Structure 1
């Protein structure tokens, strides 16, 4: 897929060693950063709620003839929006905020893994001493190593500005060890149509 190759070619290395925002060395962390980018219309809100959310309705819409012929996945429509200074500045702003938020997620997940390991160690010691374990592991129900950051970007209907925005956002130079998912929730939902069809989800990355 063209998108896959472009992302991989433009990927950047994660800094080594990895140092968290608290100044602690995270190079030995086993966390797997996962970035999920959603485009959607103004209503209904995303569920679950995103960690970061951006309203893009203040960005000028492409001309009506372009909107009628293309949605935000179109290179032509995206190139038009990239000519809007406000659109590009917002991309830069959101990229910076995502990097900061993901760093915090990685630290949070690493600390939770460490705490869970301490609990398991304590449980082993308690069982050796004939004591009851006192808690039930949830490891089979979720992946404790995955640091998931959800980012929601909305415009009026979720067809053009928000779609183009997350498409371009996905093409930014994210660290190579990140897994990135792209979901266009309302791409096939038309005005006045109550039936909602989720757009195709793309996934790439992950070293």
Structure 2
């Protein structure tokens, strides 16, 4: 007799567990249908932001870029061009585009950016989806069922919540990739490189920003002359030793 009672209790426990799991599964499904799709990147697309910096060798960029490229091994434009214009000049850009090394570096950097941005987008999307799923599974089932009888109030609350979420998480959907390109002073090669890089055929949903950090810096005291004088001094000291 006792064996029969114990078996019956085990059956009831098993049935209870099955019902509980089914209920939890249905709750998760409802949660995903009503909230998850409305609050994940599928309804609020991720916004890739590409920021390309030109700058001189020093000081380093802050914040540090995700990708960095030293362009000092690319031949400088002729002195007569550099004397009258900076890297934004069409003449300087055209001259550099005639340099195979410049074009090859452009193509290589473009591939690096596409590959890196794709990886960052995938990682960012996974993090957002993971946080949304965690939030969904933590919702109190009993509270949701109780609020189910208050349709009008619930609809108003959901609308307010979506507005607040949209304002609070707009930056959460930005995927920022910073790229630093430097030459000696940040006036010609790096500037022209960044200008050409920004003109590449990036995906239309990308936002592309250009920052020329050192372009407006005056050559106080003649930075180029000071640089050459320093080099001559070092060479003189080396010979004296």
Could you state the TM-score of these two structures normalised by the residue count of structure 1?
0.71
1:118 Cα deviation (Å)?
2.2
- Structure 2 residue 206 is matched with structure 1 residue 172: no
**Alignment partner, residue 94 of structure 2:** 79
SS in 2 for 1:164: helix
- TM-aligned CA distance change 1:123 to 1:116, over 3 Å: same
Cα distance per residue 1:72-101 (max 9 Å; x no partner): 011111001001110000000000110000
- Structure 2 residue 197 is matched with structure 1 residue 182: no
- TM-aligned CA distance change 1:127 to 1:76, over 3 Å: farther
Point out where structure 1 has 5 or more consecutive residues left out of the alignment.
1-25, 130-136, 194-207
Judge conservation of contact 2:44–2:173 (CA < 8 Å) in 1. no
Counterpart among 89, 95, 103 of residue 104 in structure 2: 89
SS in 1 for 2:83: helix
Larger radius of gyration: 2
Point out where structure 2 has 5 or more consecutive residues left out of the alignment.
1-40, 145-164, 222-241
Judge conservation of contact 1:35–1:149 (CA < 8 Å) in 2. yes
Q: Which runs of 4+ in 1 moved over 3 A?
A: 26-29, 122-129, 139-142
1:127 Cα deviation (Å)?
10
**Alignment partner, residue 57 of structure 2:** 42
Could you state the TM-score of these two structures normalised by the residue count of structure 2?
0.61
Q: Calculate the aligned-residue CA RMSD, in Å.
A: 2.5
- TM-aligned CA distance change 1:59 to 1:69, over 3 Å: same
- Structure 2 residue 136 is matched with structure 1 residue 108: no
Paired with 2:115 and 2:170, the residues of 1 have a C-alpha distance of 24
**Bigger strand fraction:** 1
Judge conservation of contact 1:31–1:145 (CA < 8 Å) in 2. yes
**Alignment partner, residue 151 of structure 1:** 179
- Structure 2 residue 71 is matched with structure 1 residue 56: yes
- TM-aligned CA distance change 1:27 to 1:125, over 3 Å: closer
Paired with 1:146 and 1:152, the residues of 2 have a C-alpha distance of 19
1:123 Cα deviation (Å)?
4.5
**Bigger helix fraction:** 2
In the alignment of these two chains, the number of paired residues is 160
1:56 Cα deviation (Å)?
0.2
